[in-house]
Amino acid sequence: GAVVSQHPSWVICKSGTSVKIECRSLDFQATTMFWYRQFPKQSLMLMATSNEGSKATYEQGVEKDKFLINHASLTLSTLTVTSAHPEDSSFYICSARDLRASGGRSTDTQYFGPGTRLTVL
Amino acid sequence: KQEVTQIPAALSVPEGENLVLNCSFTDSAIYNLQWFRQDPGKGLTSLLLIQSSQREQTSGRLNASLDKSSGRSTLYIAASQPGDSATYLCAVDFNKFYFGSGTKLNVKP
């Protein structure tokens, strides 16, 4: 299956600093990628939809100025947590939508990255 | 707003039992439904993907069914093993994924 990578896999930073997380689709092009956040003992919550070449769409309650998303190419989306605080500590997971055609049929499958664990001290 | 619900929230069974995990969703207009496994502190492992046009998918001891009209999916695990212990997440694609809160499974040796 398709592979989606995330970098870094974990990061520890001081309060007030900014952290950038990368999400890459390794063997397919993804016009749409998604960013999720998972707090301890909770499920994944969609934060935003990242669209290549246009602005991201944020879910209700997610601050767009705090969580900057850039989808600069068809294989890369980045999430920057600006002025991070301890309450931003979480597990961040991205996914990429694969819309390739195969054998005359189109597929629409999302592949998930391995996640990035952010700890803000 | 789309909602995905999973029951039970937690399940503890002896090894060898057959299990059924349930997932329900509020809107039948879905693209697909996917079951994931998540081990503590780890990312997601995709188990089964059921496209909107399909009714079930099987992989080894796992079988997932989909009934769009009733907004339900079940994950059936046959002959459970201690290695199956994990949290199982149901995710429904309404053009973007919404996740259930998960079922935490503990299979006792």
pLDDT digits (tens, 9 = 90+) for B75-101: 999 999 999 999 999 999 888 889 999
Does the pLDDT at position A75 exceed 70? yes
Q: pLDDT tens digits for B46-73?
A: 999 999 999 999 999 999 999 999 999 9
Kindly list the residues from chain A whose CB atom is less than 8 angstroms away from the CB atom of residue B43.
93, 112-115
pLDDT of A72 = 82
Q: How would residue A9 be classed by pLDDT, with cut points 50, 70 and 90?
A: very high
Give me the percent of chain A exceeding a pLDDT of 90: 67
Collapsed DSSP state (helix, strand, coil) of residue B23:
strand
| Other Cβ atoms closer than 10 A to B58 | 11
Q: How would residue B33 be classed by pLDDT, with cut points 50, 70 and 90?
A: very high
User: What does DSSP assign to residue A59?
Assistant: P
From residue B6, alpha-carbon distances to A111, B22, B35 in Å are: 22, 6, 11
Collapsed DSSP state (helix, strand, coil) of residue B86:
strand
Query: Which among A2, A7, A22, A24 has a CA at the least distance from the CA of A74?
Result: A24
Let me know if B9 is exposed, middle or buried by CB neighbors in 10 A (0-12, 13-18, 19+): exposed
User: What does DSSP assign to residue A1?
Assistant: -
Q: How would residue A99 be classed by pLDDT, with cut points 50, 70 and 90?
A: confident
Does the pLDDT at position A87 exceed 70? yes
Distance separating alpha carbons of residues A23 and A16, to the nearest angstrom? 23
Strand A105-106 to A10-13 pairing: unpaired
pLDDT of A104 = 52
Q: Which of A37-46, A101-110, B9-18 has the lowest mean pLDDT?
A: A101-110
Give me the percent of chain A exceeding a pLDDT of 70: 91
Kindly list the residues from chain A whose CB atom is less than 8 angstroms away from the CB atom of residue B32.
108-109
| Other Cβ atoms closer than 10 A to B29 | 9
pLDDT of A52 = 86
Kindly list the residues from chain A whose CB atom is less than 8 angstroms away from the CB atom of residue B37.
none
**Which stretches of chain A sit within 8 Å of chain B by CB?**
1, 34, 36, 42-46, 49, 93, 95, 108-115, 117
Query: Which among A66, A78, A67 has a CA at the least distance from the CA of A113?
Result: A78
B62–A contact, CB cutoff 8 A:
no
Does the pLDDT at position A106 exceed 70? no
B101–A contact, CB cutoff 8 A:
yes
pLDDT of A69 = 94
Contact A44 B31 (CB under 8 A): no
Contact B101 A110 (CB under 8 A): no
Does the pLDDT at position A102 exceed 80? no
| Cross-chain CB nearest to B49 (options A34, A42, A109) | A109
| Cross-chain CB nearest to B31 (options A34, A36, A108) | A108
Contact B96 A46 (CB under 8 A): yes
Query: Which among B5, B48, B53 has a CA at the least distance from the CA of B26?
Result: B5
pLDDT of A53 = 83
B66 or B29: which carries more pLDDT confidence?
A: B66
Contact A43 B100 (CB under 8 A): yes
pLDDT of B94 = 86
